[in-house]
């Protein structure tokens, strides 16, 4: 994350104003398999994985939807998911995450912004030209855009979308990512065994709000 933030500052790019994660997913672990497999039609567990995706998404975007305003200062005025870029094998295919988020957001009555991938993704590089906004409205509601992504490795892909939205007039961009991907081998090598062991020992608390980061009574 720090690398992409430094790059954004160097290029004078404005990235997301607020970032929240649902879970941490360690490479090789069960949630990592969920994030990798839910949109793979060849994976026998894809349907089961998609149910896990729904649980995470609905917790943040249905149960705790009103908490977004408490966290950011105002409710979203539009939302979008991040399409696969041209370097992805899923480019051009329907993303099941989009249908999940549309269902979660339906009661809120705010419009969806549709993003289109225009170029390939460069690893760990923020590039606002990676995406375009394809909505036909001349004045899309860009007061507060909520971007939803399934997984975050460096954050460069979703931050590229955030930077693009700011360039076309978005006032506030919030990112909600279902899972932050953790490479424990990198963590152990760069940050030490103690940090790596601490991450492995983390347990998800079901009564914590993913937006305010405060504990709710069950």
Q: Which domains, and CATH codes, for the chain?
A: 2-200 (3.40.50)
pLDDT tops 60 at residue 192 = yes
Which ranges constitute the DSSP H helices of 65-149? 67-72, 96-105
pLDDT tops 90 at residue 4 = no
3-state secondary structure at position 109: coil
Least confident span in 43-47, 159-163, 180-184: 180-184
pLDDT tops 70 at residue 214 = yes
Tell me how many degrees the CA angle 126-33-94 measures, rounded to the nearest 5: 60
Tokens of 37: 């497999």
pLDDT reported for residue 185:
83
For the whole model, what pTM was predicted? 0.90
Q: What is the pLDDT of residues 59-116, one digit of tens each?
A: 999 999 999 999 999 999 999 999 988 888 888 888 899 999 999 999 999 999 999 9
pLDDT tops 60 at residue 218 = no
pLDDT reported for residue 14:
93
What is the share, in percent, of the chain residues with pLDDT greater than 70?
92
Cα–Cα distance measured from residue 48 to residue 39, given in angstroms and rounded to the nearest whole number:
11
Cα–Cα distance measured from residue 130 to residue 138, given in angstroms and rounded to the nearest whole number:
21
Closest CA to 175 of 163, 160, 191, 159: 159
């Amino acid at each position: 994350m720090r690398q992409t933030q430094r790059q954004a500052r160097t290029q004078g790019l404005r990235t997301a104003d607020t970032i929240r994660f649902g879970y941490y997913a360690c490479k090789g672990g069960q949630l990592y398999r969920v994030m990798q497999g839910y949109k793979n039609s060849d994976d026998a567990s894809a349907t089961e994985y998609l149910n896990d995706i729904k649980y995470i998404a609905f917790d943040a975007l249905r149960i705790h939807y009103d908490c977004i305003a408490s966290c950011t200062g105002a409710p979203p005025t539009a939302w979008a998911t991040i399409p696969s870029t041209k370097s992805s094998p899923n480019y051009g295919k329907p993303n099941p995450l989009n249908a999940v988020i549309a269902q979660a957001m339906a009661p809120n009555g705010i419009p969806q912004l549709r993003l289109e991938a225009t170029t390939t993704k460069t690893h760990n590089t923020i590039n606002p030209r990676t995406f375009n906004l394809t909505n036909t409205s001349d004045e899309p509601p860009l007061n507060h855009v909520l971007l939803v992504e399934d997984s975050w490795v460096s954050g460069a892909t979703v931050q590229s979308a955030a930077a693009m939205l700011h360039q076309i007039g978005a006032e506030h961009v919030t990112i909600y990512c279902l899972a932050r991907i953790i490479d424990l081998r990198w963590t152990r090598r760069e940050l030490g065994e103690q940090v790596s062991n601490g991450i492995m020992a983390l347990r998800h608390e079901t009564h914590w709000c993913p937006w305010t980061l405060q504990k709710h009574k069950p």
